[in-house]
Structure 1
């Protein structure tokens, strides 16, 4: 089925059978954004059950057609109808489950089999495939099943593992998490285009106690990152995967380099070809109007082909630094102290001028007297517009995380990025 929800759909049906909740020839009903529906539809087709799925009208046509291809009945409801509204996809699904003979509601938002699936499968996979070295896991939150199951399993293995949720702007899950599971006064959901994450209530399948931090992503950055992911990495993923990448970048910029971070990309991009992979759709909703100047330097660093950062350290010899510059065809290096903090910049031209001066030189002569103050030091969140004056002055941009250099951007790096987008 192409999503993390395949394992949930199959397990929900298997557990319902074990408990005798569904009889042969019965009907499975679910309120779904599409992916759980596909997982249920596949298992139901194999086991001979009928399916009815209720979806908000913002979901992609590909998902609707895919569910119907499995023989499901698909009912569409208005996206703006919230919990408790009889028109909402939750309430319409409950109505079908009550009125259709021999029907059950899969109930992914309140079914403990949802997180249990990930306790038994996804969590152990992450632990085993990282040899138990995982330090951080970043997961989009919707029903909360994935983050709860993975979080419970991994924290039982190592309570120091950090579980990070990614919420979408417009959802109120962040506010609920910040308010210890209660919807705070003034927290109102807004509509958003990303499918599969975010909610306007707290599902009981989400255990907020396992979540250590939440990062938020917006529609536009989610879609742009998903599009960039397939073009740069060949990973064809959905919009909520773009949200996960956006949230992961915000979170990982705060980390030291010795962390092993896992990011879950929950579904395939094949279900969104008529939506955010379509330039016309993106322009219609204003998602392709971003000016290059609005890009952050951190995002430009991510897009840079060669991300390796070479530095010199106070006390290094001129010969050693010259060798690094020659080997890697670079003309300037950030200089750090013994603790890795940025102290300045050394340039090829300054070393040349020094070597041409009439005095005795030695192979181990240190660079310290040649280090210049770095005139263009910026944080990853700085926009290209705000740093452009430094580039026009011929300066390389040194990107720092705290006081440590994290990258360097030159005019040619920015030109390569812009040319590749035209």
Structure 2
């Protein structure tokens, strides 16, 4: 989740507990299971549980659906809605089917999620997606697939670029899931005839994503947007070996204390945590360890994996990254891990690049006429 959401909640007085993105929903470390545990441990705690709370779809049955039907005189041909907890699409779908049976209800679900039917639509290699607020790795109890006539699967690149189009061309300051819904609507509406009415729900706003898809650099480093070109002699040059400093590796079975000792001895900005095959599984930094310990989220007695950063900025040498791309990533990241992947997508760490490395590399190149 974006830092903007976290900072807003902190400003409201909330205590934030971070859970790992990659944790399965039924893992003890997942957001859902941590919330359930805290609800039992904290006196007078209330768990709203939007995945199972019948008031979730009921609010949209009584409210959102009525607003849509009133606005269009109960005459709608298609409604397109993103599926997350699925309360919105289930509640709206039920009410609209009652009052306007001809209406086609379309659910939008990102690749990497399992909500769509038939299940064959969900077959993909995607494990993590950037669009927030839609898609899950389990079926919420409030999801009623019987009211959904058609599913559209979406990808991050198309969704986030569509959200940026809505902002730029329509003046609609929306979020990434709105881009998913609109992209899905454009695909689904191809079956409609001229004059038929298609409603698309845009449920989120720009506030939560100022440092994510609104940022050109953020989009560029994920290959969602072409890298901006600068009129600099070195910008399009490929990343050179002399700019990449070696990266220290540490086995995933090691301890945080051993990782801290290795960092201190090597004076490196980051360690690559590797498995038994030497493939990178995450990175370890002193700053992340400090934050975890200072915020009472853990101790050095825990397994090293608890201190592992799974989402970090990296480039693969097979993609022939340019110095311009490296510079753009370093605008928003303290370091970049350089990797090499094999045909099975196993990643081996080769090195790391910091702003100092790039600066010394390009200034040395200029001195040499490169």
Instruction: Answer whether TM exceeds 0.5 for this pair.
Output: yes
Match of 2:37 among 83, 86, 95: 95
1:220-369 to 2 correspondences below 5 Å: 220-289=157-226
Q: Which residue number in structure 1 is paired with residue 118 of structure 2?
A: 178
Take 1:277 and 1:186, find their aligned partners in 2: how far apart are those partners?
29
| Alignment deviations for residues 268-302 of structure 1 (CA, whole Å, 9 cap, x no partner) | 012101000000111121111399xxxxxxxxxxx
The aligned runs of 1:64-103 (5 Å cut-off) are 64-103=6-45
Counterpart Cα distance in 2 of 1:232 and 1:187 = 32
Maintained 8 Å contact 1:172/1:188 = no
| Runs of 4+ residues deviating >2 angstroms | 183-189
Matched, 1:205 2:142: yes
Q: How far is the alpha carbon of 1:187 from its aligned partner?
A: 7.8
Q: Distance in 1 between matches of 2:159 and 2:122?
A: 28
Q: Distance in 2 between matches of 1:257 and 1:215?
A: 21
What TM-score, normalized by structure 2, do the two folds share?
Answer: 0.59
Q: Which of 86, 103, 106 does residue 164 from structure 1 map onto?
A: 106
Name the structure 1 match of 2:318: none
Distance 1:94 1:204 in 2: 16
Contact kept, 8 Å, 1:189 with 1:200, in 2: the verdict is: no
Q: How far is the alpha carbon of 1:136 from its aligned partner? A: 0.7
Q: Is the 8 A contact 1:217 1:247 kept in 2?
A: yes
The answer to whether the 8 Å contact 2:121/2:153 transfers is: no
Counterpart of 2:308? Answer: none
- Residue 112 and residue 124 in structure 1: after superposition, are their counterparts in 2 closer, same or farther (change >3 A)? same
> Given the two structures, how large is their TM-score scaled by the length of structure 1?
0.52
Task: Find the structure with the greater CA-based Rg.
Answer: 1
SS of the residue aligned with 2:16? strand
What pairs with 1:362-381 in structure 2 (closer than 5 Å)?
A: none
Name 2:252's counterpart in structure 1: none
- Structure 1 residue matching 2:225: 3-state secondary structure: coil
Aligned residue pair count: 228
Range 260-269 or range 69-78, more displaced: 69-78
In structure 1, the partner of 2:62 is 120
CA contact (8 A) 1:172 1:187 kept: no
Gaps of 5+ in 2: 229-370
Q: Which residues in structure 2 correspond to 1:38-77 (within 5 Å)?
A: 59-77=1-19
SS of equivalent residue, structure 1 residue 121 = helix
Q: Separation in 2 of the partners of 1:226 and 1:204?
A: 29
Cα-Cα RMSD? 2.0
Q: Distance in 2 between matches of 1:116 and 1:187?
A: 32
Long gaps (5+) in structure 1: 1-58, 292-422
Give the deviation of 1:258 after TM superposition: 2.7
Say if 1:248 and 1:184 are closer, same or farther in 2 by CA, change over 3 A. closer
* Matched residue, 1:217: 154
Cα 1:190–1:259 change in 2 (3 A) is: same
Whether the 8 Å contact between 1:168 and 1:198 is mirrored in structure 2 is yes
Determine which of 73, 91, 95 is the counterpart of 1:153: 95
Q: Distance in 2 between matches of 1:112 and 1:93?
A: 18
Question: Is 1:191 matched with 2:128?
Answer: yes
> 1:172 and 1:190 mapped to 2: Cα distance?
11
Distance 1:186 1:274, change over 3 A: closer
- Match of residue 241 from structure 2: none
